[in-house]
Amino acid sequence: MTVATWIWLLVGLTLCTLEFILPMKPQLRFAALFPGLLALIIFFFVWRYSFFIDQPQFQILYWMTLSTVAVIWVRPMFFPRTGYREIATTEAVSLTAFQPGELGRVLYEGVSWAARCEPGSGAISPQQTLYVLAQEGNTLIVTPKLDP
């Protein structure tokens, strides 16, 4: 076995260990684990099958390519998006009139959004102040603000 073989084993074990030792933000989970596992896989192929044994630059190229693919495309599959975001402002102004359950347009945070009125609330008229209850994709769920 060459020195490059042992380096792959050391890199793989180090990255896998760092994943479990260092505290990471939820967005960075498994960012070190995938490259570590891929380094261990390359170690196995170099050790067992002499995979580019005399060309470590190709080993590094394969590792970098596969690690990038794993971190960008495979890792997000383990963390599905929740489909909602924190509502920063609770009020919006209607731009169009629409009925409950139908789509209309509202001005929210300075941007025109598609909005659906909460079923069971009254009809929305233009320039009416609304409460933003939730966001589902690109559509806001709103209800009319009741004036006392």
Q: What does the DSSP assignment read for the chain?
A: --HHHHHHHHHHHHHHHHHHHS---GGGTTTTHHHHHHHHHHHHHHHHH-TTTT-HHHHHHHHHHHHHHIIIIIGGGGS---S----S--EEEESS-B-BTSEEEEEETTEEEEEEEPTTSPPB-TT-EEEEEEEETTEEEEEEPPP-
List the structure tokens of 123. 């009809």
Q: What is the pLDDT of residue 40?
A: 94
Separation CA 32–CA 42 (nearest Å): 16
Q: Which domains does the chain have, with CATH numbers?
A: 3-78 (no CATH), 91-144 (2.40.50.140)
Q: What is the pLDDT of residue 28?
A: 77
Q: What is the pLDDT of residue 53?
A: 80
Separation CA 21–CA 39 (nearest Å): 18
Question: Cβ contacts of residue 102 below 8 Å, gap of 6+?
Answer: 116, 117
Q: What is the pLDDT of residue 127?
A: 93
Residue pLDDT tens, the chain, 148 long: 678 789 999 999 999 999 888 887 777 778 888 999 999 999 999 888 887 888 889 999 999 999 999 888 887 777 766 655 566 668 999 999 998 888 999 999 889 999 998 777 788 999 999 998 888 888 998 988 876 5
